Structure 1
Amino acid sequence: MKNTVLCLLLVMLTTGFIHAQKQAQPLTIENYYKVKWGYAGEFIDLWKKNHYPLLKKAKEHGDILDVKAEVPIMHSGEDTRWDFKVSITFKDAITALAPDLTTPYRAQLYPDTAKLQKDEQHRFELLLSHWDIMVDKADLEKQ
């Protein structure tokens, strides 16, 4: 029930955003990951092994324009800490919110689906929190 309510809320929030944007405009979403202390390297390795290849396939297909990853150099307070940030620029908002964007590539890249599921389950067990933020460039020259 909680997941259904969260999904409905996400749909309501993003629907207005999508209509406000031109559908042909690229959309960037920043994904932040906060991992259990001492496990950030393992989490990132699993992300690069199991998720990044799917994003690269979507990029080859033209649905994703760019993928960038960052890690913090210095630490912050526990309440504001994140360990890994991935910025994905999609060709448009509709594509960015498509729930099955990478599904066609899953079987092609990972024939052993049981192993993939086990690895992905472990990756998510390492997470303390995860949040996604849609961002847009601010025009600093415009008054």
Structure 2
Amino acid sequence: MKKIKLLAILLFLSTVLWGQEKPLTIENYYKIKWGHAEEFIALWQKNHYPLLKKLQEKGDVLSIKAEAPILHSGEDTRWDFKVTITFKTEHLALDYSIVDPYKKQLFPDQDSYTKAEQHRFELIIAHWDVPVETIPLH
């Protein structure tokens, strides 16, 4: 959590100092309990993807891509699901509340939504977000 706060501060300062906001791509990795990856992905598609699509329709998100490995790796490096999101600005990427206005709109039964999301989070062994940049190749 400290790393995320430090990253947010650094990105904010870079925006203030240089006066421009640029898109930010974040890769979200999920390591899921053995045998539950499909269940997790189904819950993610049902409960989180619609929120991201709303952000994309609004223009806050430029692209969304989901991937799963074809083969598994060792337990220490294993991940089961990756979502790559490019946000319009660094600020939007770090504002976790931007989906809040759409939660009640998309999920009127908030009790069911909350329970399903709780279960989705219970399936996660580890989760990490990696801000990435494209390196031009010459």
Whether 1:36 and 2:36 are equivalent positions in the alignment is no
Structure 1 residues 23-67: Cα deviation after superposition (integer angstroms, max 9, x where no partner): 431100000000000000000000000000000001001100000
Whether 1:70 and 2:67 are equivalent positions in the alignment is yes
Q: What is the aligned partner in structure 2 of residue 139 from structure 1? A: 136
1:101-116 matches, cutoff 5 A:
101-116=98-113
Q: Normalising by the residue count of structure 1, what TM-score does the alignment of the two structures yield? A: 0.89
Q: Which residue among 15, 21, 29 is the counterpart of 2:9?
A: 15
In 2, distance between residues paired with 1:81 and 1:125?
18
In 2, distance between residues paired with 1:132 and 1:118?
24
- Percentage of identical aligned residues: 56
Letter in 1 for 2:90: A
Structural RMSD (CA): 1.3
Q: Secondary structure at 1:105's aligned position in 2?
A: helix
Letter in 1 for 2:38: G
Equivalent residue pairs, number? 135
Q: Which residue among 77, 80, 85 is the counterpart of 1:80?
A: 77
Q: Bigger shift: 131-140 or 44-53?
A: 131-140
Q: Secondary structure at 2:95's aligned position in 1?
A: coil
Q: Secondary structure at 1:102's aligned position in 2?
A: helix
Letter in 2 for 1:30: E
Structure 2 unaligned residues grouped into runs of 5+:
none
Letter in 2 for 1:105: Y
Q: Normalising by the residue count of structure 2, what TM-score does the alignment of the two structures yield? A: 0.92
